[in-house]
């Protein structure tokens, strides 16, 4: 029996021996690890291009992932546990003998119907070579089963480790600020409108994302950072007073990485109350607001400044929840049980 674990962060190489030991403890046979990454310098550059940035970013993601899959397929494996979902889809297309567990499956709606239809056909074909597709939100199981009924979807709690972040230096960033960031499934309209209507300029809002995601929104009072990358994202989070996550209330999971990093750093969190977030946290560790409710979101942020001790207690609870349930080792332990 030959098992392969495909990891989606090259930084995890530092704990290679620990992960091999975990595999040896749970999986019989010969165990190996292959490391991948989503980004490189070119991808980080083109993703900020207006109009075409998102398309170019995804094309380069797929190109990079295909190269990884070709390298992996030079060897034969009985079981493949793939934490890079794009690589996993290419393996599903090509591999005829391996049992493949694809973790982190995500299929977002697209405005372009033709592109959505073609992408759905390709993904459906690739999923035929997948034994199980792991999703990180419980509601995703039913949602994706309707889209791809031939595939077995299972819910597994996500987990991730964070390395010591690189310092982020910019004259644009204020000494004290409210922070939000990321791209996937973000409802920045609700956040920005809530901030502009209900909060004074005394409380600065910093958003780290591609500027095109904020088109047609009034960002005149907001600091927008377009050059924050994975290595220094945590530095911007840990210097913030509060993290605010406003997500679309969809069946897909998104926003977990940012939320988990804030939890690990003990930063208070305000997030909208949706099922994919409830899978991981409750009122004992974060503060919820109703999706798209700008007034309530504004009130929760104001409440933070009026009663910071309450929010700090929640943040302390969140640190413990993260350590117990949301580390990368926790994810692997759950994955190897499938």
> Which CATH number covers residue 121?
3.40.50
Q: Are residues 150 and 182 in the same domain?
A: no
Burial status of residue 117 (CB atoms within 10 A of its CB: 0-12, 13-18, 19 or more): exposed
Looking at residue 252, its pLDDT comes to 85
DSSP secondary structure string for all residues of 70-134:
HHHTTS--SEEEES-HHHHHHHHHH-SS-EEEEES------S-HHHHHHHHHHHHHHHTT-SEEE
The predicted-structure confidence for 272-303, as pLDDT tens digits, reads as follows: 999 999 999 999 999 999 999 999 999 999 99
| Residues 236 and 179: beta-carbon distance below 8 Å | yes
pLDDT band for 116, please (50, 70, 90 cuts).
confident
- Whether residue 60 has pLDDT greater than 80: no
How far is it, in rounded angstroms, from Cα 87 to Cα 36? 9
Q: Is residue 234 part of a domain?
A: yes
Instruction: Among 57-71, 210-224, 250-264, name the one with the lowest average pLDDT.
Output: 57-71
Take residue 208 and report the two structure tokens written for it.
């780290």
Strand order in the sheet with 222-225: 222-225, 205-208, 178-181, 242-245, 269-272, 287-289
Check whether 250 has a pLDDT greater than 80.
Answer: no
pLDDT at 121 over 70: yes
Instruction: Provide the token pair at 41.
Output: 């310098």
Nearest-CA neighbor of 244 among 263, 221, 269, 262?
269
| Number of domains composing the chain | 2
Of 234, 242, 214, 216, the C-alpha closest to 226 is: 214
For the stretch 125-138, pLDDT in tens is 999 999 999 999 99
Q: Note the helical H segments in the chain.
A: 16-26, 41-46, 53-72, 85-94, 113-127, 140-147, 188-198, 230-238, 256-265, 275-278, 294-306, 308-325, 328-335
pLDDT at 214 over 90: yes
Q: Which domain holds residue 48?
A: 2-156
| Tokens 């409750």 found at | 282
Burial class (CB in 10 A: 0-12, 13-18, 19+), 197: exposed
Please give the Cα distance from 207 to 199 (Å, whole number): 15
Beta bridge partners of 308: none
Q: What is the mean pLDDT of residues 120-125?
A: 94
Q: Are residues 142 and 214 in the same domain?
A: no
Contacts of 50 (CB under 8 A, 6+ apart): 211, 212
Rounded to the nearest 10°, the torsion over CA 21, 27, 29, 33 is: -60
Residues 39 and 129 in one domain: yes
Please identify which residue in the block is written with the tokens 């939320």.
Answer: 259
Rounded to two decimals, the pTM is 0.89
Q: Is the predicted pLDDT of residue 57 greater than 80, yes or no?
A: no
Q: Are 249 and 290 in contact (CB under 8 A)?
A: no
pLDDT band per the 50, 70, 90 thresholds, residue 96: confident
Residue 56 predicted with pLDDT over 80: no
The span from the CA of 135 to the CA of 227, in Å, is 29
Judge if 138 and 260 occupy the same domain.
no
62: pLDDT confidence band, cut at 50, 70 and 90?
Answer: confident
Q: What CA–CA distances, in Å, run from 34 to 69, 73, 104, 231?
A: 10, 12, 17, 21
**Does residue 187 sit in the same domain as residue 79?**
no
Regarding whether 309 and 206 lie in a shared domain, the answer is yes
Q: Is the pLDDT of residue 58 over 70?
A: no
CATH code of the domain containing 300: 3.40.50.2000
Q: State whether 138 and 219 are in the same domain.
A: no
One domain, residues 201 and 108: no
The two tokens of residue 72 are 């992996």
Q: Are residues 146 and 170 in contact, defined by beta-carbon separation less than 8 angstroms?
A: no
At 148-158, the pLDDT tens digits run 999 999 999 99
How high is the pLDDT of residue 201? 85
Give the span between the Cα atoms of 45 and 207, in whole angstroms: 18
Nearest Cα residue to 139 out of 274, 1, 316 = 274
How is the beta sheet containing 132-135 ordered, strand by strand?
30-35, 2-7, 79-82, 99-103, 132-135, 153-155
Residue in 84, 157, 96 with CA at minimum distance from that of residue 131: 96
pLDDT band at 52 (very low <50, low <70, confident <90, very high): low
**Residues 220 and 302 placed together within one structural domain of the fold:** yes
162 within domain boundaries:
no
Q: Are residues 139 and 225 in the same domain?
A: no
């Amino acid at each position: 029996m030959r098992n392969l674990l495909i990891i989606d962060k090259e930084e995890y190489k530092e704990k290679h021996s620990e992960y091999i030991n975990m595999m040896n403890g749970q999986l019989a046979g010969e165990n190996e690890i292959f490391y991948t990454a989503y980004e490189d310098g070119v991808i980080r550059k083109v993703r900020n291009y207006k109009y075409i940035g998102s398309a170019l970013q995804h094309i380069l993601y797929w190109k990079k992932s295909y190269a990884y899959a070709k390298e992996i397929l030079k060897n034969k494996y009985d079981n493949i546990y793939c934490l890079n979902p794009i690589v996993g889809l290419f393996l599903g297309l090509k591999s005829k003998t391996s049992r493949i567990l694809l973790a982190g499956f995500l299929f977002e709606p697209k405005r372009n119907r033709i592109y959505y239809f073609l992408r759905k056909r390709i993904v459906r074909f690739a999923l035929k070579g997948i034994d199980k597709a792991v999703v990180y939100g419980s509601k995703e199981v039913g949602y994706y089963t309707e889209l791809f009924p031939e595939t077995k979807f299972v819910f597994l709690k996500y987990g991730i480790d964070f390395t010591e972040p690189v310092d982020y230096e910019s004259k644009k960033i204020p000494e004290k600020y409210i922070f939000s960031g990321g791209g996937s499934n973000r409802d920045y309209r609700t956040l920005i409108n809530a901030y502009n209507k209900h909060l004074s300029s005394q409380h600065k809002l910093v958003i780290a994302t591609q500027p095109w995601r904020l088109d047609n929104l009034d960002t005149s009072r907001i600091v927008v950072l377009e050059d924050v990358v994975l290595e220094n994202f945590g530095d911007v989070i840990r210097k913030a007073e509060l993290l605010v996550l406003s997500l679309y209330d969809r069946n897909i999971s998104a926003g977990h990485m940012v939320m988990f990093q804030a939890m690990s750093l003990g930063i208070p969190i305000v997030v909208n109350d949706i099922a994919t977030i409830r899978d991981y946290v409750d009122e004992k560790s974060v503060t919820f607001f109703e999706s798209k409710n700008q007034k309530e979101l504004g009130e929760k942020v104001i409440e933070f400044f009026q009663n910071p001790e309450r929010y700090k207690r929640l943040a302390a609870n969140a640190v413990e929840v993260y350590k117990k349930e949301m580390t990368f080792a926790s994810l692997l332990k759950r994955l190897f049980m499938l």
